[in-house]
Structure 1
Amino acid sequence: MVDRGATSADAAPPDDWPARPELSLALNRIGSFDWDIDGDRLHLDPMAQEVLGVPPGTSVHRVEDIAGRLPPEDAARADGLIAQALKDGSEAYGVYYRVRTGDGTTRWAYAQGRIRRDAQGRPHRIIGIVRDATEELGSPVRPEADEERRHQTSVVETITAALAHASTVQDVIDFFKDAQAVKHLGSDLLVLGLVETGRIHLVAEGPSEHFIPGTRYTRVDDNFPMSEVIRTLAPRFIESPGEFAASYPWLWERIRDIGIGSAAYLPLIAHARPIGALGLLYRDARGFTQQERNLFIALGTSLAQSIARAMLFDQEHDLAEGLQQSMLPRRIPDIPGAQIAVRYRSARMGRDIGGDWYDVIPLPGGRVGAVIGDVQGHDTHASAVMGQLRIVLRAYATEGHAPATVMARASSFLEELDTDRFATCTYAEADLSTGVLQVVRAGHIDPLLRHTDGTCRRLPVSGGLPLGLSADFGHLDYPVTTVELDPGETLLLFTDGLVEQPGSDLDEGMRRLIGAVRDGPYDLHQLADRLCNVIGERVGEDDMAVLLLRRHGPGVRGGGRLQQHIAPADPEALSAGRHMIRAAVRAWGARERSDEIELVADELVTNALLHTDGAAVVTIRMLTGPERRLRVEVEDKSSALPRRREPGESGVSGRGLLLVDRLADVWGVEPRGGGKSVWCEFIVPGRHEVAEGTTDD
């Protein structure tokens, strides 16, 4: 209890007791204001004008008359707070802000207002007080001290903002190697070291190289300032050359010629463990104030967080990229008659990976399957789905299914998985002896075709829905586009990461890609590297996979062979078989007998599917010899031989063989172990004969 001394009820009160409100407000430096919002009028009493630093004799009639006496950031903050109170129905508000005075100092003020509203709740008047709050919040701020504080705050904000864009550890290193980093920090030199497997790796020096032999890698227990701050987890401030020489004699002997007078070494601590150290070196001897030391500690904390985040990014990206790579084929098989180059490039923006993949599938009969695809999403789940989808698609193709069937079954498989992902895909099956190329597309980008003269064009391919969606919607029809791949021509399959770029449309990206392919080198692997380099020059958020397939050698004049597996109740395979025969007839120069060959082949396949329980395998090939013969074979698993029926016999079964007999030059049946092969041959003119006949016409 405070001893107030003896009192007497009879003691006379002061002459001015009790004090009038005006005296109480004046002694406590409290002024009043009245703000007419509707009339845009403001009244300040003399004490309020004094608190707000308004010179005597200056008229104040509007809020704008005093707005300039507040620093811009304080004025903006006060305006925002008052506007929010007026808007949300508040009855009062209070706000602290700084006020500039005539002598150049800055002091604190506090304003409190009561908001008057009309019957509709609309604010129309504010009545309040304003008081000096300098003693409450601190002494008046000197301009030079205020400027120094702003500079120090700016340093931290600048460095923090710059490091916010650093995604990888290399990004952080590159920042500190830049001369601007030294300028921002206000030092003459800097060094940055990171802890790696128990040693300190000096990763950055600036603004120029001052490498000292023996300091690139040092031990944590060495007598170096970086080692000390990492061991002790405390900063080390060296304020003179003498202190430097006494504490670290070996290092001082090697840096004294650089002209270092003082230094600040900061430990970089993340998750309670040291990850590195930053050294700021100055040419002049200097003392470090407590305020500067606090600034350096805050800077070290911010830098440590950035580096730790970048390290985590690198680790997760490497892990994800390793998973992605493990899902892709380890090696590309050697394919006789073709050269193949593949590339995969992960996105550098974002730590996650995508579901991009490629595959090359050797098939019987000199054929090869080429796959490019992209599973929706950028995470490890997309990569896992991609791995499963690649395996099943390879299995369906190896079983001998037609390209359309391969795609339809892969879609059904993806729809049955416990996932909500879909995938786009292109599957191309090439017969390298004939150049016949069958392409199926599921929501993917059209491939490109580079001709032997270097020109490049987009290859339009009929398409279906993406894998998974086609099965979900019940649209499993995938049309087959058949083209011829001449010797020396190159097929380019790729994912959208190769052509998509933020701020531009797909067509523009395709034009850029066509130009890069057209102007690129002829060597396939050099061309693939060139495409990757083009992508590396721009920032992208998507992975990229590319597959290049070039057909080798001259065109085959004889001995070409194509084969198609056709399962029962598989209309897509039957349609693909017809496409194959039509393309082979065109590629081998047998157009004059194309209708006969297609009709007979269709009849043989239909008979095999109708009268046997298993699948049929149709083979078409060109035989060499004195005359060019095109041979069609249809194999099945039944040992029952077909029987030709003559006109007049009952029923219609077997009449198809009459058609075969009339149209083919020769035909027959051969037993094949557990089944048979029905074959027929057609004599076709040579290519030169076709050309001469055309000229005569």
Structure 2
Amino acid sequence: MVERAEGALSLPADWPAHPDLSLALNRMGSFDWDLDTGLMHLDQAALDVFDLYSDEYDGHPESLARRVPPDESTRLDAMVSRALKSGATFYGAYFRIRRRDGSLRWTHTQGVVRRDVSGRPHRIIGIVRHAAQELADASVRIALDDEGRRRTSVVEDTTAALAHARTVQDVIDVLNEARGLEYLGATNLVLGLVDGGRIRLVADGPEGSFVPGTRYTRVDEQYPMGEVIRTFAPRFIESAHDFAVSYPRLWPHIKGLGITSAAYLPLIAQARPIGAIGLLYRDKVGFSADERDLLIALGSSIGQSLQRAVLYEQEHDLAQGLQQAMLPRRIPEVTGGQVAVRYRSAGMGRDIGGDWYDVIPLPSGRFGMIIGDVQGHDTHAAAVMGQLRIVLRAYAAEGHSPATVIARASDFLHELDTDRFATCLYAEVDLATGVVQLVRAGHVDPLLRAPDGTCRRVTVDGGLPLGLSAEFARLDYPVTTLELDPDHTLLLFTDGLVEEPGVDLDDGMRRLTAVVKNGPRDLQLLADQLCDVVDEWGGADDVALLLLRRQGLDAPQSGGRLQQRVAQSDPDALTAARHMVRAAVRAWGAAERADDIELTADELMTNALTHTEGAAVITLRVLARPHRRLRVEVDDCSSALPRRQDAGETGVSGRGLLLVDRLADRWGVESRGSGKCVWSEFVVPDSTSM
């Protein structure tokens, strides 16, 4: 016992308090459970915890059943049993009791297991106590922790969603649809971007909230967006009164929306404001410190995403403009056939690539078709594509054979200052005869669809892609000849139409073949459908399409074709050529123009033999579209172009081309791969004898 010092303060007579008093004052009761007899002693405080009178308890635990619900009793019995069997010396648990008025109340118990020398449990001594307030306080703490985690997840979830936003509209959609606005209780948002010294509104809040005259506002005007952009600081408007006093020009237009507070945040990227966002609230007054911190963090994330979106849109516009500039502005009409072209940009990335198509007019009614794909998906690929398209047109227009056109293009790409290669398919088409000559440089094979819808893959012998064939000195490209029958459709395309990650190329071709087979007959509708199915398949590559259909048999057909080689110093060959011209004129029903045709043909042959070295080749053919014409062509090995000149009154030469110009309906000169062709055309009447 502590001795009381003389003169010290006096202590209570019952100090220190007995443990029973301490337990009772803290609403705790004790129990002593003898396991051998099964009796359990409860003191008065314990009976109070169970809301029992003393005469309602007979010392047996079963008497507590009226206060402990069956499910709670089962759980407690199982817990005590585990403690006894496992050798534990302590246990504790929360459980509910049913009070006298029928309500449930949380209670806590804990006990110490006493064992004999052999380890057998024979007694449990413990306490029971009220736990309702304790658990209520814990629930509050848990709720606060949950709210904190939820607020943190708002920023994390919104930031994760913004990471996938590619455009400004994507950012707006994420913010409108994200759980963040729901958690924060915001009604909606307004978003503006800095455009010079003005703010351009790109999201104008809930329906009916647009304020006339605010689509574009100056940064120095008294609006909340302008203020946060000028000051680089957020502005929290905590009440309707605050809104009305601070922004009298804006408030009259939005007071009918029930807005009670708002948070305007500057969107800053790389230390400069790029815009501002406003979150509008109903039934909310004021912002806590945690809410302010959360909104500021959210604004920082939105600013970074918005800058990426703005830069993407700027680059996308540039890339799209470059892509469109590199593709042909128009596709020439082809006599005797229909053409459809499409370009579908990639689903991801910069929406630009090296895919292209082209149709090139060639002499004698022929034309070339090109489909190609430069490696890569960037502006460099598009630039290389544009250069390749130009040189391919030039080589084809010079009159080179299809294999030579592709070989020269490969040489050009190899010498170009680039590490890119390209695949390409070139087709030289003569719809008058239906003959198509195909050369493939590492490209996918084309498809051919018959009038009945049957579709098959056309196997085209091929060589290495452009650039690689020159690097490995393998420039000998084989030529595959195809006869395109009337009403048949030839489909050229890039690999984005059939290639897909995880899908075999042959499977992709079979899938495409099925689509073409069941597709619409109309060529333009078929091209549209092929682009649509790429979107359905989730294709991530760009796609170029070039479709050609030859007209049916009901269209007028061309006549025959005759050709004669005339060597230098070979009068017999020249005479034979003149006889061929005369016979063709009679046979093809052009007698009315016989003198003009024979004289023009003779003049062209004479010029070729006189002014060039080597032999000349004269070709006669009848063209049926758009009207019937007889065409005379004289080919030679010289690239020097003929010139029309005035011979004067006494000149003995120089009148040849003047004569041709006077007699022929049309004439001209076309380059050939190894020389030139001078041609003339004469309109002749239709003849049923052909």
TM class by smaller structure:
0.5 to 0.7
Question: 1: CA distance between counterparts of 2:373 and 2:617?
Answer: 32
SS in 1 for 2:279: strand
Question: 2: CA distance between counterparts of 1:173 and 1:623?
Answer: 60
Matched, 1:502 2:471: no
Question: 1: CA distance between counterparts of 2:206 and 2:511?
Answer: 38
Decide whether the 8 Å contact of 2:489 with 2:549 is kept in 1: yes
Structure 1 counterpart of 2:521: 522
Seen in structure 2, the aligned counterparts of structure 1 residues 410 and 275 have a Cα distance that, compared at 3 Å, is same
Question: 2: CA distance between counterparts of 1:440 and 1:675?
Answer: 23
Structure 2 counterpart of 1:190: 189
Decide whether the 8 Å contact of 1:194 with 1:200 is kept in 2: yes
Question: 1: CA distance between counterparts of 2:136 and 2:234?
Answer: 34
Question: 2: CA distance between counterparts of 1:675 and 1:348?
Answer: 46
Question: What is the CA distance between 1:226 and its match in structure 2?
Answer: 2.1
Percent of matched pairs sharing the same residue: 69
Question: What is the CA distance between 1:166 and its match in structure 2?
Answer: 0.8
Matched, 1:156 2:160: no
Structure 2 counterpart of 1:649: none
Q: Deviations over 1:611-632 (max 9, x none)?
A: x9769768585799xxxxxx99
Question: 1: CA distance between counterparts of 2:635 and 2:477?
Answer: 26
SS in 1 for 2:199: strand
Q: Which runs of 5+ in 1 are unaligned?
A: 1-57, 62-101, 107-140, 566-607, 625-630, 639-673, 678-687, 690-697
Q: Deviations over 1:209-251 (max 9, x none)?
A: 7444444444434433223222322211011111112222343
Seen in structure 2, the aligned counterparts of structure 1 residues 220 and 614 have a Cα distance that, compared at 3 Å, is farther
Decide whether the 8 Å contact of 2:498 with 2:509 is kept in 1: yes
Question: 1: CA distance between counterparts of 2:215 and 2:623?
Answer: 71
Question: What is the CA distance between 1:253 and its match in structure 2?
Answer: 2.6
Matched, 1:380 2:379: yes
SS in 2 for 1:501: coil
Decide whether the 8 Å contact of 1:425 with 1:441 is kept in 2: yes
Which is greater in Rg?
Answer: 2
Structure 2 counterpart of 1:463: 462
Task: Within 5 Å, give how 1:304-343 maps onto structure 2.
Answer: 304-343=303-342
Decide whether the 8 Å contact of 2:351 with 2:542 is kept in 1: no
Question: 2: CA distance between counterparts of 1:489 and 1:318?
Answer: 38
AA matched with 1:559: G
Decide whether the 8 Å contact of 1:433 with 1:560 is kept in 2: no
Seen in structure 2, the aligned counterparts of structure 1 residues 149 and 512 have a Cα distance that, compared at 3 Å, is same
Q: Deviations over 1:281-336 (max 9, x none)?
A: 22123221223212211111110000101111121222223222222222222333
Matched, 1:559 2:554: no
Question: 2: CA distance between counterparts of 1:248 and 1:218?
Answer: 14
Question: What is the CA distance between 1:187 and its match in structure 2?
Answer: 1.8
Task: Within 5 Å, give how 1:74-223 maps onto structure 2.
Answer: 143-178=142-177, 180=179, 182-204=181-203, 210-223=209-222
Question: 2: CA distance between counterparts of 1:393 and 1:168?
Answer: 36
Structure 1 counterpart of 2:234: 235
Structure 1 counterpart of 2:275: 276
AA matched with 1:433: A
Structure 1 counterpart of 2:290: 291
Question: What is the CA distance between 1:500 and its match in structure 2?
Answer: 2.2
Decide whether the 8 Å contact of 1:494 with 1:544 is kept in 2: yes
Decide whether the 8 Å contact of 2:436 with 2:483 is kept in 1: yes
Seen in structure 2, the aligned counterparts of structure 1 residues 184 and 289 have a Cα distance that, compared at 3 Å, is closer
Seen in structure 2, the aligned counterparts of structure 1 residues 561 and 398 have a Cα distance that, compared at 3 Å, is farther
Structure 2 counterpart of 1:569: none
Question: 2: CA distance between counterparts of 1:563 and 1:180?
Answer: 78
Structure 1 counterpart of 2:484: 485
AA matched with 2:379: T
Decide whether the 8 Å contact of 1:104 with 1:142 is kept in 2: no
Structure 2 counterpart of 1:124: none
Superposition TM-score, scaled by structure 1 size = 0.59
Q: Deviations over 1:109-149 (max 9, x none)?
A: xxxxxxxxxxxxxxxxxxxxxxxxxxxxxxxx954543333
Seen in structure 2, the aligned counterparts of structure 1 residues 169 and 512 have a Cα distance that, compared at 3 Å, is farther
Seen in structure 2, the aligned counterparts of structure 1 residues 170 and 540 have a Cα distance that, compared at 3 Å, is farther
Q: Deviations over 1:540-574 (max 9, x none)?
A: 43222111222235466542559999xxxxxxxxx
Decide whether the 8 Å contact of 1:443 with 1:463 is kept in 2: yes
Decide whether the 8 Å contact of 1:159 with 1:184 is kept in 2: no
Structure 2 counterpart of 1:84: none
Structure 2 counterpart of 1:354: 353
Decide whether the 8 Å contact of 2:350 with 2:377 is kept in 1: no
Structure 1 counterpart of 2:410: 411
Question: 1: CA distance between counterparts of 2:208 and 2:179?
Answer: 15
Number of positions where the alignment pairs a residue of Structure 1 with one of Structure 2: 467
SS in 2 for 1:188: strand
Matched, 1:400 2:394: no
Seen in structure 2, the aligned counterparts of structure 1 residues 185 and 163 have a Cα distance that, compared at 3 Å, is farther
Question: What is the CA distance between 1:520 and its match in structure 2?
Answer: 3.6
Seen in structure 2, the aligned counterparts of structure 1 residues 153 and 521 have a Cα distance that, compared at 3 Å, is same
Question: What is the CA distance between 1:360 and its match in structure 2?
Answer: 0.9
Question: 2: CA distance between counterparts of 1:675 and 1:510?
Answer: 41
Question: What is the CA distance between 1:506 and its match in structure 2?
Answer: 2.4
Question: What is the CA distance between 1:352 and its match in structure 2?
Answer: 6.7
Question: 1: CA distance between counterparts of 2:616 and 2:150?
Answer: 83
User: Bigger CA drift: 311-320 or 422-431?
Assistant: 311-320
Decide whether the 8 Å contact of 2:261 with 2:280 is kept in 1: yes
User: Bigger CA drift: 438-447 or 192-201?
Assistant: 192-201
AA matched with 1:372: I
Structure 2 counterpart of 1:432: 431
AA matched with 2:426: Y
Matched, 1:546 2:545: yes
SS in 2 for 1:437: strand
Question: 2: CA distance between counterparts of 1:538 and 1:174?
Answer: 24
Decide whether the 8 Å contact of 1:443 with 1:464 is kept in 2: yes
Question: 1: CA distance between counterparts of 2:179 and 2:210?
Answer: 19
Q: Deviations over 1:170-214 (max 9, x none)?
A: 211222343745325432322222234544333335676744444
Question: 2: CA distance between counterparts of 1:508 and 1:473?
Answer: 31
Question: 2: CA distance between counterparts of 1:231 and 1:635?
Answer: 75
Matched, 1:257 2:259: no
Structure 2 counterpart of 1:576: none
Question: What is the CA distance between 1:258 and its match in structure 2?
Answer: 2.2
Question: 2: CA distance between counterparts of 1:237 and 1:144?
Answer: 26
Superposition TM-score, scaled by structure 2 size = 0.60
Seen in structure 2, the aligned counterparts of structure 1 residues 534 and 173 have a Cα distance that, compared at 3 Å, is farther
Superposition RMSD in Å: 4.1
Question: 1: CA distance between counterparts of 2:357 and 2:304?
Answer: 38
AA matched with 1:186: G
Question: What is the CA distance between 1:450 and its match in structure 2?
Answer: 2.7
Q: Which runs of 5+ in 2 are unaligned?
A: 1-82, 87-132, 566-607, 625-630, 639-674, 679-688
Question: 1: CA distance between counterparts of 2:359 and 2:507?
Answer: 29
AA matched with 2:516: V
Seen in structure 2, the aligned counterparts of structure 1 residues 184 and 491 have a Cα distance that, compared at 3 Å, is farther
Q: Deviations over 1:374-402 (max 9, x none)?
A: 11122232222222222221111111111
SS in 2 for 1:303: helix
Question: What is the CA distance between 1:265 and its match in structure 2?
Answer: 0.9
AA matched with 2:252: E
Question: 2: CA distance between counterparts of 1:559 and 1:269?
Answer: 73
Seen in structure 2, the aligned counterparts of structure 1 residues 562 and 335 have a Cα distance that, compared at 3 Å, is farther
Question: 2: CA distance between counterparts of 1:444 and 1:234?
Answer: 57
User: Bigger CA drift: 288-297 or 160-169?
Assistant: 288-297
Decide whether the 8 Å contact of 1:338 with 1:432 is kept in 2: yes
Question: What is the CA distance between 1:489 and its match in structure 2?
Answer: 2.6
SS in 2 for 1:249: coil
